[in-house]
Amino acid sequence: MADEPPTEIDEPVASITPEELRQHIDSGGDVFILDVRSKRDFEAWHIDGANVEIVNHPYFQLLDGVPEDLHAKLPDDQKITVLCAKGDSSEMVAEQLSEDGYDVDHFARGMKGWARIYEYQELDVNVDATIAQYQRPSSGCLAYLIVSAGAAAVIDPLHAFTEEYRRDVRALGVELEYALDTHIHADHISGVRALAAQTDATVVLPEAAANRGVEYDHDYETVADGDTIPVGDVDIEVLSTPGHTTGMTSYKVENVLFTGDGLFIESVARPDLEDQKAARNAAQTLYDTLKERVLNLPADTTVAPAHFSNAATPDTDGTYTAELGQLKASIDVLSMNTDEFVEFTVSNVPPRPANHADIIATNLGQQSLDETTFELELGPNNCAAETLTN
């Protein structure tokens, strides 16, 4: 029988993981993304960054090939990363582009994979404890682990990353004693109940937050302004800071202030998520809180918020923190008078977080945690008023 010519085997298009893309962005490398999700999904939530160029062209418009208008937007001398929601459509589009001669890969696991990235960074602060900040780049959520003398507490943990906290506590050889929330979150599912169910940690909620109608199926403790929570050799001081919500509470460990959603390093809280009709009154409360309870703390107080946005610049240690004196000088809204402040904060709010009503109900214990919980919180950080900085 005559020899048959060898069969050509097409090489699969290369993929890049969410973790690899995040490292590339963090290193300052140029990134070009073709996002093939719908325009609506793209506008609601997409990857951003100073070194990221992104083009949106929905997948359903590419079924018959790549149109000329899209070719004109794609670089010939740079790798293109194709992204979709889950990773399937992006692979097919990347194969088309590869056949057209582009240097291309596809984003494995899509935006759902991006939402699974969670990073640990220790704060460079002079306190008698190790304080680590957890960063979720997809939504700008921040949580904190405080470790001192064999004990630990976590502030504003996320349900999706319960195992990460447990893993780190085990690695550090300490006992998780407390899981604290600063308020009833509207943008992500809290992890305090899951941690309490899987460890010996005690759930701690601000009393005013619990009064919104918490219906947990297990015990929790409440704290009020002036209380302290011992963790090893340090105390967590409780500071009532209402405005973003009626129960919004900050926690302070020596010179580190965990501000929750009250004050960020690039803006202040939005006042409308608990009661949209009472937003103006909440904005006035937030103004009074900042002026009377926060901004009069020492200028070298380290502000450690519960969120960061694309407008935020990390500190030299890689964390999203800043000294209070620096924020007073850089955030214009903090120097406004009361009327200006109220008008700004009620007029400059982004869209409400997706599924916020269900998220709030879940965090109150009024809806159950199940396999759809992760889907509820996919999306951007929408807990701050629009940024206004010098």
Cite the active site residues. 84
Read off the tokens for 302. 């380290």
List helix spans (H) across the chain: 18-26, 39-44, 68-71, 88-99, 110-114, 162-172, 192-198, 207-210, 279-289, 324-330, 338-347, 356-363, 373-376
Residue 197 to residue 212: CA distance in whole angstroms: 22
Q: Cα–Cα–Cα angle for 315, 382, 118, nearest 5°?
A: 50
- CB-based contact 166:189 (threshold 8 Å): no
- CB-based contact 310:138 (threshold 8 Å): no
Nearest to 127 by CA among 314, 345, 312, 302: 302
Residue with tokens 């149109």: 67
For residue 167, list its beta bridge partners: none
List phi, psi (to 5°) of 359: -65, -45
Nearest to 301 by CA among 277, 323, 318: 323
Q: Euclidean distance between the first and final Cα of the chain, in Å?
A: 79
Helix (H, G, I), strand (E, B) or coil at 325: helix
Nearest to 25 by CA among 52, 55, 53, 61: 52
Residue 49 to residue 316: CA distance in whole angstroms: 18
Residue with tokens 């807990």: 383
Task: Say how far residue 163 (Cα) sits from the centre of its chain.
Answer: 17
